[in-house]
Amino acid sequence: MSRKKAAKGKASTSSPSAGSPTGKGAGRTARSSPGIVQMNGVVHPSRPSVSNSSEFYDIAFKVMLVGDSGVGKTCLLVRFKDGAFLAGSFISTVGIDFRNKVLNIDGVNVKLQIWDTAGQERFRSVTHAYYRDAHALLLLYDVTNRTSFDNIKAWLTEIHGYAQQDVVLMLLGNKEFGVPFMETSARSGLNAELAFTAVAKELKHRSIKDPSEKFKLQEYVNTEMKDAGCCRS
């Protein structure tokens, strides 16, 4: 397997393949972290990007974070990428943004290009363009916000309308709707690593198609949560 170099960051507003400049930075300047830089084009396993990062990877996937505004998408991503909680006043994402992280999954370096979408309704048309290229979707709701829970159905309708049929889908914060589930906290770090690692494992498994390797996303999540001494049902 040839080893590629991980791109350092990218953001664009119109569509992933159009590679136009981002609109996110404008609204989230305070939150634009050092890891976010602009570049053109998309990262795909078959078309690795040129990069200035030192992290090498074997396969790459796009993961999208979706859900209502304020449910914690950006915070969860920052927790996963930087291991920190983004405290302070809430600054809504404008458009879309992304960060890369390379995980070693059973000896294979899996690069996740994680797109953080704006939850606000007015950016919906921007984010729609990104669904079709996503390999995995993490759909978040806020356990303290009933409306964000009620809106999960609408998000699923949107996902089924715009995403690939075989997209890996995981619901974070909910126990219904028949998709893999776990609760997360960007503040404490609860399951932040596990959510992304589970998705990377599923994607790597699908990509490599090793018949000797059996992987079930929800089973893996349940086992890992148990191993971590997690008490939730």
Ligand X SMILES: Nc1nc2c(ncn2[C@@H]2O[C@H](COP(=O)(O)OP(=O)(O)OP(=O)(O)O)[C@@H](O)[C@H]2O)c(=O)[nH]1
Looking at residues 74 to 93 of the shown chain, list those that interact with ligand X (rule: CB under 6 A).
74-75, 86-87, 90, 92-93
* Cα 166 from Cα 135, distance rounded (Å): 8
How far is Cα 81 from Cα 150, in angstroms, rounded to an integer? Answer: 29
Give the residue, chosen from 72, 95, 173, 180, that forms a contact with ligand X under the rule CB under 6 A: 72
**Is residue 118 involved in binding ligand X (CB under 6 A)?**
yes
Q: Which of 25, 35, 41, 70 binds ligand X (CB under 6 A)?
A: 70
For residue 40, give both structure tokens: 């053109």
In the complex, least distance from residue 231 CB atom to ligand X, rounded to whole angstroms:
18
In the list 15, 33, 53, 120, the residue contacting ligand X (rule: CB under 6 A) is 120
* 145 is a site residue for ligand X (CB under 6 A): no
| 9 vs 72, beta carbon nearer ligand X | 72
Residues contacting 153, CB < 8 A, separation 6+: 177
The answer to whether 189 contacts ligand X (rule: CB under 6 A) is no
C-alpha to C-alpha distances, 36 to 41, 59, 116, 198, nearest whole angstrom: 15, 21, 11, 24
d(CA 151, CA 145): 10
Amino acid at residue number 20? S
Give residues in contact with ligand X (CB under 6 A).
69-75, 86-87, 90, 92-93, 118-120, 185-187
